[in-house]
Amino acid sequence: MFNVAKIRKDFPFLQNNSIAYFDNGATSLKPKSVIDEVLYHYNYESVNVNRGVYKLSQIATQKFDETRNTVKDFINAKRKEEVIFTKGTTDSINLLALSYGELLNEGDEIIISQMEHHANFVPWQMLRDKKGIVLKMIPIDENGELIYDEFLKLLTPKTRLLSITWVSNLLGTINNIEQIVKDAHRLGVIVSVDGAQAVPHLKIDVQKLDIDFLSFSAHKMYGPTGVGVLYGKKELLEKMPPVFGGGDMIDKVTLEKTTYNTLPHKFEAGTPNVADVIAFKKSIEYLNNIGIENIANYEQQLLNYAMEKLSRFDDLSIIGISSHKSATISFTIKDVHPQDIGMLLDEKGIAVRTGHHCAQPALAKFNLKATARASFAFYNTKEEIDKFIDGINYIYDIFK
């Protein structure tokens, strides 16, 4: 059985705070096993990787490489060299745009969607402005879902890349990646998936889904900040030029020419975030021990419970009501600014996100500039949601 009380004991933050933490879409809390691993590295093995023949360096290098293998297994990649370590999802998408973008030409088309995080908007706009790429956008409907027929119309023989979010950080909408990939691949279109909000909550199998690129972050997976992954099919990564030059990414350097290292090192220039990459393995092991399916089922219960409670409030609008939705609720209250919602909930010990959530094109669909957002994780409880509802009542007592 899913024992949330037992799980909560694994998170030091929850022992030291009475706050109901509902900002998991921004970053997740860290279990003690992850924190301890970071401390252990700095206390006892604080050395560089891939550089030394001495024992401690070899131990750190082995642990670093074990994390790569663990990530490979977690997403069911075919090879560990298909796992590139980055600073986070934003860094991964930028790396892809800078590198794969070099293979594209003026007039080539890239498709994104209206629900993208800015991290999956801006890099492609920058590429458009630099190389004359044509950038197209899939619109969304009033429920916060892709207008799929419009997506199919956007696909042309000139389309080279589709870069799409799996789960919207604003709307909670879960896109049908399997169908999207199939339809894109029929025209030979490469598919890049922003998995930041999906990988911590859904079962991922990049081979089964035939995903070409997948980007995600450790810190949204109960792991450290400053670590991300760009997964890519080997044959695609091998065609792509490196973006950053320096140590580890080289094979041979002369004044006349540099030849590059093999995958994954070609894309990992310089000293990596050793301690946090090593600790990332612990967060994946933690998720595996609980079971992603168990997490998804429990978080769905939390979502249903909160949605039902919030539906009782007049003048409260939920933004994003897809039938296939993650445990994320963006909402507004008539005549109450989202920042006021966030500040008043904070007074009651409830942490939610307010603002545009780096999703201004999606908000524009709803004629909004900001919302409040509650995003749940498997350590949250229905009792905390009750506290959240009490906080909403507190806001109504003041404004209504």
- Burial of residue 68, with CB atoms counted within 10 A of its CB: 0-12 exposed, 13-18 middle, 19 or more buried: buried
Residue carrying structure tokens 């350097």: 253
- 274-304 residues labelled b (16+ CB within 10 A) or e (exposed): bbbbbbbbbbbebbeebebeebbebbeebbe
Q: What is the 3-state secondary structure (H, E, C) of 335-394?
A: CECHHHHHHHHHHCCEECEEECCCCHHHHHHCCCCCEEEEECCCCCCHHHHHHHHHHHHH
Distance of CA 331 to the CA centre of its chain: 21
- Give Cβ neighbours of residue 275 (< 8 Å, ≥ 6 apart): 37, 38, 41, 42, 46, 224
Instruction: Give the CA distances from residue 58 to residues 33, 68, 119, 272, in Å, rounded to whole numbers and listed in that order.
Output: 22, 15, 35, 15
CB 399 within 8 A of CB 336: yes
CA distance 302 to 286: 20
- 319-353 residues labelled b (16+ CB within 10 A) or e (exposed): bbbbeebbbbbbbbbeebebebbbebbeebebbbb
**Segment holding 183, helix H or strand E:** helix 177-185
3-class secondary structure, 320: coil
337 catalytic, yes or no? no
3-class secondary structure, 108: coil
- DSSP code of residue 169: T
CB 329 within 8 A of CB 378: no
3-class secondary structure, 50: coil
**Of the listed 292, 358, 368, 389, which one is catalytic?**
358
CA distance 271 to 47: 10
> Which residues are marked as active site?
358
